[in-house]
Structure 1
Amino acid sequence: MFTYMLDLDTSLKHVEESGAQASPLGVNGCDSIWLLDDDVSMLKALGRLMNSAGFSVEKFNHPATFLARLEHAICRVAVLDVWMPDMNGLEVQACLRQDSPKTRIIFISGRDDLSVRQAALDAGAFAFLAKPFEDEVLIKVIQEALEGH
C-alpha cells in the first residue's frame, strides 16, 4: 500500500458545480483528463495540478453529469473518487466499462479499503491511489495510462 500527499490549493475562486469545465488542449497534445470528485476543493486542486502538468481537464462534481458527457465526447483517462453521494466510483466504473470500455480509470480515495481497492482493480481499473498522495505520482500514473492507451 502506498500513501501519497496532495497539496490542496484553496486559492482557486471558482469551479462550476453544475458539471463539466473544459480547458484548452494541453501542451502535451493529449485528450482531456476527466476528473470526478464530489469534494469541490479536491476537484479544484486536481484540476490545477493537471493543468500545470500540461493536461487538458474536464471537471465534474456529480456522477450523472460525468456520465452524460460520454454521449458527446471520448474519455481516454478518468480520475474517479470512490465515495460520492448518489453513485459511488465503482458504479461509475461499471457504466464506463459498458459505454466507454477503452477508458483508463484511476481511482482516488480517502478511505483505502482493501476490498474496494481489489474490486476496482478486478473490474479493470488502471490504478488506485489512497489520499493523500504526491502530485508527481498521480501525474506519472496518468502519463502511463495515456501511453498504454
Structure 2
Amino acid sequence: MTVSLERVLVVEDDMSVSRALARAVRSLGFDVATFGTGEELLRSPVSAGPAALLLDLHLPGLSGADLILVLRQHFPDLRIIVMTGRDIGGARDACLSAGAELYITKPISRADLGLVLGARPPGRERE
C-alpha cells in the first residue's frame, strides 16, 4: 500500500473530533484517512511513506504511545504528531522519546494545523 505526500492519517477515537480534524485537514489541501483505534490503522491497507499521522494519545486498546513504538519499527520516516486533550506528566517526553515528531494539545486551530502539516497557500505546488 502507498501513501502520497498529500496524505494525512488521523487516529482519533472521538468521532466528532475525528470529523472536525478531517474537515480541517481536507480544507488545507490534503487527502485524509481516519481511524478510530490504533488497531484499525495497523489492519488497514494504508502504509506509511511521506505521510503525516495525527495521533490521539489516549485511545482504547493500543495506546498512542504504544502505537508510536510499533510504527517506528516499520515506518521510520512517518511524521507522527501526537495530540492530546489531557496533557499528563511525562507523556510529552515519552512520546517524543518513542519517536513522535511533535506533541500538541487540543483543541488545535486550523491555522496551527496548517503550520504543523506544512500546508502551502492555495495555488502553490508542493515541493
TM-score range, shorter chain: 0.7 to 0.9
Alpha-carbon separation, structure 2, partners of 1:59 and 1:53: 16
The 5 A counterparts of 1:39-78 are: 39-69=14-44, 72-75=46-49, 76-78=51-53
Give the structure 2 partner of residue 142 of structure 1: 117
Aligned counterparts, 1:1-149, within 5 A: 30-69=5-44, 72-75=46-49, 76-143=51-118
TM-superposed CA distance for 1:100, in Å, is 0.9
Please report how far the alpha carbon of residue 57 of structure 1 lies from its aligned counterpart in structure 2 after TM superposition: 0.5
Return the TM-score normalized by structure 2: 0.83
**What is the CA-CA distance between 1:123 and the residue it aligns to?**
1.8
CA contact (8 A) 1:121 1:128 kept: yes
Q: Secondary structure at the match of 1:114?
A: coil
What is the root-mean-square deviation of aligned Cα atoms in Å?
A: 1.9
| Per-residue CA distance 1:26-61 (angstroms, 9 max, x = gap) | xxx833100000000000000000011100001111
- Structure-2 separation of matches of 1:111 and 1:127: 15
Deviation at 1:93, TM superposition (A): 0.4
More strand by share: 2
Q: Secondary structure at the match of 1:141?
A: helix
TM-score by length of 1: 0.72
Give the percent of matched residue pairs that are identical in Structure 1 and Structure 2.
31
Which segments of 5 or more consecutive residues in structure 1 lack a partner in the other structure? 1-24, 145-149
Given that 2:81 and 2:104 are in contact with CA atoms closer than 8 Å, whether structure 1 keeps it comes out as yes
- 1:13 aligns to what? none
Report how far residue 83 of structure 1 moved: 0.3
Structure 2 unpaired stretches of 5+: 120-127
Give the equivalent residue in structure 2 for 1:14. none
| Worse-matched range after superposition: 133-142 or 42-51 | 133-142
Does the aligned pair in 2 maintain the 1:30–1:56 contact within 8 Å? Answer: no
